[in-house]
Structure 1
Amino acid sequence: MKYERILKAGIKSLNCLYGIMKKAPTKNRMLFISRQSDKPSFEFEMIAKKMRKKDPDLQVLMLCKTLPGGVNSSVKSKLSYGCHMLTQMRAIATSKLVVLDSYCIPISLFEHKKTLKVVQMWHSMGTMKKFGYQILNQAEGSSYELAHLMRMHKNYDAIFCAGEGYRHYLAEGFGYPDEAVTIMPLPRMDLLLDKDYGAKKKEEIIKHYPKLAEKPVVLYVPTFRKEEGAFQKALNDMVNGWDDAFNLVVKKHPLSQVEIGDGKVLTCPEYSSFDLLFAADYVISDYSCIIYEAAIMEKPLYFYNFDFDLYEDLRGLNLDYLKELPGCISADFTQIMDAIRSGQYDYDRLRRWRDTYVKMTPHATQDIADFLEKML
């Protein structure tokens, strides 16, 4: 195929260029790379702060840039990201340690100095949805040929996951044996368990949206879907059947084009779904990993699975959804609303489920810093 020949030629050229870059001396530097955002995450910052305390002479560099649309992005976006990749390559070639929270092409594609260590800490507390090598040649996955050519997720020295319950699924998604995965919850756990931080964040949000103090807050965090017709209808059903005794905050995915069309529904664009957990009394989702974070805070969970059969066919899930999840599960929103209104919830079941997938620790960031220090 012409496309494949061009890609192989490009990879060969970049490999030669990277070989030259590797001749530069290694610096006492720790490099963070992400394509989840155009700015460093709060978790990168939390880890960096701990590492600087351990070694004041340690250089910390963060390279964060998104590629909206991925392989379907515009030519301009691809060129811009290509230039950014050259910056990544120079930094990788002269760093001691790289920490990722997403797939990084230069890390997986090239052969690195033997002294370089790479840690993949991924960007979610859990992995309910199948991904990576679990869904090759499927509707929402990459092709086997492209994954092989791009050496997808290769060259990791350590992979972090939040708990034993999903160690195997994470390893499978990255294409590694289970023993390559280390149980190491993300730094966000420290914030989720910090009562003072939570109280201040909630106060900040309510100051911005005073009506949230008037009634209990229900936060709805749906998963992004490429085809949103069924989602639009389900969201309309939710809004039309909403009980005005509760506030509704809908935090849809940034790429979602669905319309809410009701002024009573808040979207709180200034705040992330993570931030809004601190103001929420109840959480509704479907297949989003926000449920693990909500469970850490012991927020009652409800599951609006209006497209369950289709989603399972297209993407697949890493748990027995209908048997395992701790809360009302329904494609009929009236049942979700009735369950919230009842005030009844099985918190023991929530904790048992959470503890299966997440190792609870009050010092997650320190644990990560101690682990990384040994790799430098």
Structure 2
Amino acid sequence: MKRHLINVARMMLLLTYRFFRLFPRRRRIVCLSRESDRPTTDFLLIRDYMRQAHPDYSVVILAKKLRDPIRYGFHIIRQLYYVATSQAVLLDTYAIVVSLLAGCIDVPVVQMWHALGNMKKFGYTALGSKEGRMFSTASLLNMHRGYTSVLISSRSFIDDYARGFDIDPSIVYEAPLPRTDLLIDGSYRTRQRERIIREFPQLGRKLNIVYCPTFRKKTPANQAEAAAALADAIDYDKYNLIVKCHPLDDLRIANPHVFQHYPSQYDMLFVADYVISDYSTVIYEAGLLDLPVFLYSYDWQDYSKKRSLYIDPKRDIPTLFTSDAGAIVKAIEHDDFDHAAYQAFVRRNVAVPEHGSCTERVVEHVFDLIDAQQ
């Protein structure tokens, strides 16, 4: 029954797409995202670069989370129009219209994904796991089909991406996400830090520890206990503890000292002096900011069974990996962190171009694909 409904939906999408193909194709790139209801930083940087380097082209950003299937259905129709009448399509997540119409879309489709670097198995390598999709779902939705190119932060991940997206490695292209440009821009970091501290002056009076846990589909049984242990271990006379959650996570720590209620547009990494994470690719972003990173693995025994990682965090990441919150705070207090080793780790996994910007590399790759099809 499900397969029949999906086939009907695909046929309706195809007919709608072919109708929109009767309209003139414009000098335009369309960006699709389900990560947020607002344009992401990566897409905004692409739009800004295009206005300078390719002013004869426009960029349309269609960002919307899938909350209400009916409303999202109307959004899909809008996506179809712009896919059919643009010169290229950029994605940062799985897009229903792209994968269900794989083989029918006759312009380049570039999957830039939304994570900088890689850690967790995803896509086809996570099928059947408790944190991944079902095999039947991936098959029905034609998951991750229809890509012309897939971007990657470093060729060190090429085999991981090829397996995760179930694609030929030849279409994987090394180009870190555009927001990398902001992370390595010292003046931008200073402006953002000053902006946040103007809004929240208390964050400028002490050193800031930013806790960035990864998103888990199911809340660990010991999450509340572990979060409380971390909060209790902090000396609030010296430090602020800031929680920076994944957009889909609702973690809240029952401690009045913890700074966790603030608008999502403030990226607290820019005020961080130390970062605590676990299995999140935020470890690469923090590394580009040259921040000490510590890994709080309170649920590793259970998580490693539910969601395998491409790397062994205990062996491959040169920092403290522990379930002991007190040990992490002690390491912070004693500045027990090897910056040189961590920077070498980040450089292996985020290949910043020697010339030009990351945004330029992404956009010009898209135009190379457009030129190749004309």
Q: Normalized against structure 1, the TM-score is what?
A: 0.92
Q: Does 1:35 align with 2:34?
A: yes
Q: 288, 296, 299: which is aligned to 1:296?
A: 288
Task: Find the aligned partners of 1:136 and 1:113 in 2 and give their Cα distance.
Answer: 26
Q: Does 1:372 align with 2:366?
A: yes
CA contact (8 A) 1:118 1:156 kept: yes
Task: Find the aligned partners of 1:229 and 1:137 in 2 and give their Cα distance.
Answer: 21
- The match for 1:138 is 129
* TM-superposed deviation, 1:111: 4.6
The SS at the match of 1:62 is: strand
- The match for 2:299 is 307
Letter in 2 for 1:98: V
* TM-superposed deviation, 1:269: 1.6
Task: Find the aligned partners of 1:114 and 1:145 in 2 and give their Cα distance.
Answer: 24
Task: Find the aligned partners of 2:288 and 2:362 in 1 and give their Cα distance.
Answer: 18
Q: Does 1:153 align with 2:152?
A: no
CA contact (8 A) 2:292 2:339 kept: yes
Task: Find the aligned partners of 2:350 and 2:362 in 1 and give their Cα distance.
Answer: 15
* TM-superposed deviation, 1:32: 0.8
Q: Does 1:169 align with 2:160?
A: yes
Letter in 1 for 2:86: S
Unaligned runs of at least 5 residues, structure 1: 69-76
CA contact (8 A) 1:132 1:142 kept: yes
Q: 217, 230, 236: which is aligned to 2:222?
A: 230
Task: Find the aligned partners of 2:106 and 2:16 in 1 and give their Cα distance.
Answer: 19
The SS at the match of 1:99 is: strand
Q: Does 1:341 align with 2:333?
A: yes
Task: Find the aligned partners of 2:166 and 2:220 in 1 and give their Cα distance.
Answer: 30
Task: Find the aligned partners of 2:152 and 2:51 in 1 and give their Cα distance.
Answer: 24
Query: What do the CA deviations read for 1:292-339 (whole angstroms, capped 9, x no partner)?
Result: 100111110100000112111111111011101121111011111111
Q: Does 1:242 align with 2:255?
A: no
The SS at the match of 1:278 is: helix
Instruction: Summarize the alignment of residues 277-288 of structure 1 with structure 2, pairs less than 5 Å apart.
Output: 277-288=269-280
Q: Relative to 1, partners in 2 of residues 1:257 and 1:229: Cα closer, same or farther, differing over 3 Å? A: farther
- The match for 2:324 is 332
Greater Cα offset, 255-264 or 165-174? 255-264
CA contact (8 A) 2:121 2:310 kept: yes
The SS at the match of 1:283 is: strand
Instruction: Summarize the alignment of residues 82-97 of structure 1 with structure 2, pairs less than 5 Å apart.
Output: 82-97=73-88
CA contact (8 A) 1:22 1:113 kept: no
CA contact (8 A) 1:186 1:364 kept: yes
- The match for 1:215 is 206
The SS at the match of 2:89 is: strand
Task: Find the aligned partners of 1:218 and 1:48 in 2 and give their Cα distance.
Answer: 33
Letter in 1 for 2:169: D
User: Equivalent pairs: percent with the same residue?
Assistant: 33
* TM-superposed deviation, 1:218: 0.6
- The match for 2:257 is 264
Greater Cα offset, 230-239 or 264-273? 264-273
Output the aligned Cα RMSD. Answer: 1.8
CA contact (8 A) 1:98 1:118 kept: yes
Letter in 2 for 1:373: F
Task: Find the aligned partners of 2:201 and 2:51 in 1 and give their Cα distance.
Answer: 39
CA contact (8 A) 2:98 2:105 kept: no
Q: Relative to 1, partners in 2 of residues 1:45 and 1:197: Cα closer, same or farther, differing over 3 Å? A: same
Letter in 1 for 2:338: D
Q: Relative to 1, partners in 2 of residues 1:35 and 1:294: Cα closer, same or farther, differing over 3 Å? A: same
| Number of residue equivalences | 366
The SS at the match of 1:212 is: helix
Q: Relative to 1, partners in 2 of residues 1:111 and 1:128: Cα closer, same or farther, differing over 3 Å? A: closer
Q: Relative to 1, partners in 2 of residues 1:327 and 1:108: Cα closer, same or farther, differing over 3 Å? A: same
The SS at the match of 1:374 is: helix
Task: Find the aligned partners of 2:335 and 2:135 in 1 and give their Cα distance.
Answer: 48
Q: 339, 347, 350: which is aligned to 1:355?
A: 347
Q: Relative to 1, partners in 2 of residues 1:239 and 1:114: Cα closer, same or farther, differing over 3 Å? A: closer
- The match for 2:60 is 61
Task: Find the aligned partners of 2:82 and 2:154 in 1 and give their Cα distance.
Answer: 31
Q: Normalized against structure 2, the TM-score is what?
A: 0.93
